[in-house]
Amino acid sequence: MQGTMLYGPRDVRFEERPDPAIIEPTDAIIRLSATCVCGSDLWPYRGVDPVTQPIPMGHEYVGIVEEVGSAVRNIKPGQFVVGSFFASDNTCEICRAGYQSSCIHRQPGAPTGAQAEYARIPLADGTLVATPGLPPTDLIPSLLAASDVLGTGWFGAVAAEAGPGKTVAVVGDGAVGLLAVLAAKQLGAERIIAMSRHESRQRLAWEFGATDIVTERGDEGAAKIKELTGGLGAHSVVEAVGTQESMMQAIRSTRPGGHVGFVGVLHDVEIPGEEFFFSHVHLHGGPAPVRRFLPELIDLIWSRKINPGKVFDLTMPLEQVAEGYRAMDERRAIKALLRP
Ligand SMILES: [Zn+2]
């Protein structure tokens, strides 16, 4: 098959790869219907995360099951399935508490790489969720969004305790931040402040349910949030970037007793202890347990109550994957969808 490998900074190659095969009896092989480039793929692409050997890329996927191992009970060949970036058994105590991305048997969700024609998915019964049937083509982008960016934005909003009566601020206008706006709206938030200075992203934020846009960032952004909330700060703040500036912007935008849900992968972030101590802010986040939310998200998409697939503003054939990385790196695209 053909698949995507990252050889080093900005060196993405689409090349011949071994066909994935069942290794463990709990594995499944899927044929990808769609995949995409993740904001987190840009960390190694930009050389921030070192690349010491060529790595198979891609961890967002939807597709049709080709083959399952002998121990797989519920997932069947021919089903259309959605998975996420960590494989989990969905039965251990941590999974049952809703933290499948910290499953005691956690593995990469698509170790052979999902920016490819086929992928091996470990722990298929725990990891994959089948849709009610083969989806119409126009639902595929939204189902793909559920695989990572929607699930992650949703967890950010849940971790920030977004809900009725709450003012929610979202730091970051990438796909995850925009979908955290959508999640906050679905969870019933009263006011949703999107922090963005890009016109096309602001438009999508309005469409997903934002009630206010703040263009300032850093401490100016936090001051603006306070100004909009009677000097108090937001009840709930979703951090969807992962830098020192964005994390502090999130903490400083939150009122005492409020919650920050942080889902941007933190890179070299240090939180000043004394400031944090006196802030009275709850922090919760980490790699989203997307699996927890998948059944509900698939249902909302299947019944066309939400359309998260709108974050894909660029669609291209999978073999042009390198251009997808470039477009996202240069922020010409919010998110690139790749069709095998
Ligand atoms: Zn588990």
Supply the pTM of this predicted model: 0.96
CA of residue 55 to ligand 1 center, whole Å = 26
Give dist(CA 120, CA 128) in Å, integer.
12
Mean pLDDT of 82-92: 97
pLDDT greater than 90 at residue 50: no
Give dist(CA 338, CA 45) in Å, integer.
17
Percent of the chain with pLDDT over 90: 96
- The per-residue pLDDT for 323 is 96
Q: How many CA atoms lie within 13 A of 198 on its CB side?
A: 14
CB 257 within 8 A of CB 283: no
Binned at pLDDT 50, 70 and 90, residue 183 comes out as: very high
For 185-237, the pLDDT digits (tens) are: 999 999 999 999 999 999 999 999 999 999 999 999 999 999 999 999 999 99
Q: How far apart are the first and last CA of the chain?
A: 11
For 128-177, the pLDDT digits (tens) are: 999 999 999 999 999 999 999 999 999 999 999 999 999 999 999 999 99
CA of residue 120 to ligand 1 center, whole Å = 19
CA of residue 105 to ligand 1 center, whole Å = 6
Binned at pLDDT 50, 70 and 90, residue 9 comes out as: very high
Amino acid identity of residue 63, one-letter, is: G
3-class state of residue 35 by DSSP: strand
pLDDT greater than 90 at residue 286: yes
CA of residue 70 to ligand 1 center, whole Å = 20
Domains with residue ranges and CATH for the chain: 2-148+289-339 (3.90.180.10), 150-285 (3.40.50.720)
CA of residue 128 to ligand 1 center, whole Å = 13
- The per-residue pLDDT for 297 is 98
CA of residue 298 to ligand 1 center, whole Å = 21
